[in-house]
Structure 1
Amino acid sequence: MTRVLIAIALAFIVATAIAVVYARHEHRVLFVELSRLERDRDELNIEFGRLQLEQATVAESTRIDQIARERLGMKTPESGDVVVVRP
């Protein structure tokens, strides 16, 4: 009877040890994935900042063009109105 209990206890101990090893392996795999995703997030945040800056720059030049046309009556010259000066 005691041999059966010892065998059952030993089986549970081995199963638990295998489960611990598997859990630690999964933890490592998931940690590596988390690190990669955080790096990707940081790169995307940097790109988003660049795009916001570019959008602000484009919006500013568009705003200047709009003001020049409305307030100052400026317009893009026709191709016949452009004179090229050569040295």
Structure 2
Amino acid sequence: MTLRVLLTALLVANLVSALGVVHARHQHRQLFVQATRLEAARDELNIEFGRLQLEQATWAESNRIDQVARDRLGMKFPEGGETVVVRP
């Protein structure tokens, strides 16, 4: 009788262990797919970040700022007589 109980316990332990392995492999596959998707999203964001840095550098060029200040805002450099120096 004890041999039968021992074999039954070993069989149940073997089944539980096998189900644990199946569950762990399934979870690993799901996490791998999710990691792959996240890496692709990261790569897309890095590409867009590079584009935005390039665009920012283009908009921030000193020649462009000077041109916009003159054309759109009507700004100009002050003449010599228009400059006032304030001393403490």
Alignment match, 1:85: none
Structure-1-length-normalised TM-score = 0.74
1:51 paired to 2:56: no
Where in structure 2 are the equivalents of 1:1-87 lying within 5 Å? 1-60=2-61, 63-66=62-65, 75-76=70-71
Q: Which runs of 5+ in 1 are unaligned?
A: 78-87
Aligned amino acid, residue 24 of structure 2? A
Structure-2-length-normalised TM-score = 0.73
- Count residues in correspondence: 72
- Tell me how far apart the structure 2 counterparts of residues 57 and 25 of structure 1 sit (CA, whole Å): 48
- Identical positions, percent: 52
- 1:76 is displaced (CA, Å) by 2.9
- Tell me how far apart the structure 2 counterparts of residues 40 and 65 of structure 1 sit (CA, whole Å): 33
Question: Residues 24 and 65 of structure 1: is their aligned pair in 2 closer, same or farther, counting only changes over 3 Å?
Answer: closer
Structural RMSD (CA): 2.3
- Tell me how far apart the structure 2 counterparts of residues 49 and 3 of structure 1 sit (CA, whole Å): 68
- 1:75 is displaced (CA, Å) by 3.2
Q: Which runs of 5+ in 2 are unaligned?
A: 73-88
CA displacement, residues 8-59 of structure 1 (integer Å, 9 cap, x when unaligned): 0000000000000000000000000000000000000000000000000000
SS in 1 for 2:46: helix
- 1:64 is displaced (CA, Å) by 1.4
